[in-house]
Amino acid sequence: MTDLSKFDPNAPSNPRNNIFGLPFREEDARLVILPVPWEVTVSYGAGTSRACEHVFRASMQVDLYDAESDNGWRQGFYMRQPDKKILMKSDYLRKEAELYINFTSKGEILENNSFMCKSLKEINEGSNYLNKWVYEQTRTLLDQGKLVGLLGGDHSTPLGYFKAIAEKHGDFGILQIDAHCDLRQCYEDFVYSHASVMYNALKEIPQLKRLVQAGVRDYSGQEWDYICNSDYRVITYFDKDVNERLFEGQSWKDIAEEIVNHLPEKVYLSFDVDGLDPKLCPNTGTPVLGGFESEQVFYLIRKIIQSGRKFIGFDLVEIGVGENDWDANVGARILWKLSNLLVANNS
């Protein structure tokens, strides 16, 4: 066990320690944060594959006291080093994807270009490799009794973790905070696109009984049709509708409790930062006008816990990289809050 007798939580963070300046080793930590430096299929702004290291540095500025979670960090948080092989694979395939997207945007015929056919095959195979890698890493940690938080990377990264969660916990639901539905089928010909992660999860994971989305304000007609024909397996709280209800006098408390009531007993949180107001994530890959304040999301998570439901895991994805690291600072503080809430709910 990690000896905390000489650790001063009120002192400045020691960057030689782990995430948030905490002195834990992986074997002693209750929560392990798995960084996934991957952004192969991003369709607008890039940079999130480097977010993990920026969040790590920014985490040293986070004060450790958290009154509402009874200092859950004392049970141990540990973040692994980003896997360099995964990052290198992402960098290589990202360049291939950029060439491919540029090629198809000009209306070229894929079958007439053998190089592009090969690139598409490599990209899809690479994404499948990533899914298996994430599954194996998270499944091993869950089997060891660890709680797991996944830190992206783009929103395609947690699919393997969803599958590991399903095997560990059985039936569960996902609360998705996002500006987008991510219900596109094979977007830009990429089977495991960041824009398709929830479509693939619903298709491949029968234990996923309910997907509740909140903050959505940018979506396609195909995704609308999918939601309408899902037999309530997908329930979406569109940003416009939520705001109209607030403008007309309803409280966030009432809306949050309604959202929670749609969720099953076990709840996984998939948090794309573009679900927030872009002032909090200006460098995220696909920012959209509107969105939540961070405290609205934290309040919603607390309502899940207060309802007696079990908070079983989370991912935090699409954090951008900017010149002043504002996105990383916000991301680190969100990661801190999610980590404390997850540990406190599983003590």
- Concatenated DSSP letters of 150-190: EEESSTTTTHHHHHHHHHHH-SEEEEEE-SB----SSGGG-
Burial class (CB in 10 A: 0-12, 13-18, 19+), 306: exposed
Residue 327 belongs to a domain:
yes
Residue 97 belongs to a domain:
yes
pLDDT of residue 106: 85
Check which CATH number belongs to the domain holding 272 and give it.
3.40.800.10
Residue 32 belongs to a domain:
yes
Residue 321 contacts residue 50 (beta carbons within 8 Å)? yes
Half-sphere exposure of 340 (CA within 13 A, CB side): 22
Which stretches of the chain drop beneath a pLDDT of 70? none
Residue 306 belongs to a domain:
yes
Element holding 32 (H helix, E strand): strand 31-36
Residue 13 belongs to a domain:
no
Question: From CA 174, how far away is CA 313, in angstroms rounded?
Answer: 10
Residue 242 belongs to a domain:
yes
Residue 127 contacts residue 99 (beta carbons within 8 Å)? no
Residue 35 belongs to a domain:
yes
Which one-letter amino acid corresponds to residue 78? Answer: Y
- pTM of the predicted protein model: 0.97
E strands of 199-328, at which residues?
Answer: 208-216, 234-238, 266-272, 310-317
Q: To 10 degrees, the CA torsion angle through 224, 226, 227, 228? A: 80
Residue 12 belongs to a domain:
no
pLDDT of residue 224: 98
Which structural domain, as residue segments, surrounds residue 24?
Answer: 19-345
Number of domains in the chain: 1
Question: From CA 192, how far away is CA 56, in angstroms rounded?
Answer: 27
